Amino acid sequence: MIRATVPQGTTAAKMLASVRREIKMRERVYPRWVEAARMTQANADEELATMRAVLTVLEQVLPLDVNQIELFSRGGRP
């Protein structure tokens, strides 16, 4: 089992809010970047899909106490 260590004071709510803000920022910025040829539409779509997947995973696995996050289980090994 692998445990993640997070900074003191970080909460599940703060982590989720941060990811949601990042998604909203990308939704605003990426269309301009695509228009300015700073990134392709395909790359913008992939990046947004990836960040949305991160949010989905966090929503499913984050316990109330993020200091106890167990990301993976490896046959009972610590």
pLDDT at 53: 96
Residue with token string 């992939």:
46
Mean pLDDT of 17-38: 97
pLDDT number for residue 7: 81
Q: Is the pLDDT of residue 28 over 80?
A: yes
pLDDT > 70 in the chain, percent: 74
Considering only residues 66 and 7, tell me which one the structure prediction assigns the higher pLDDT.
Answer: 7
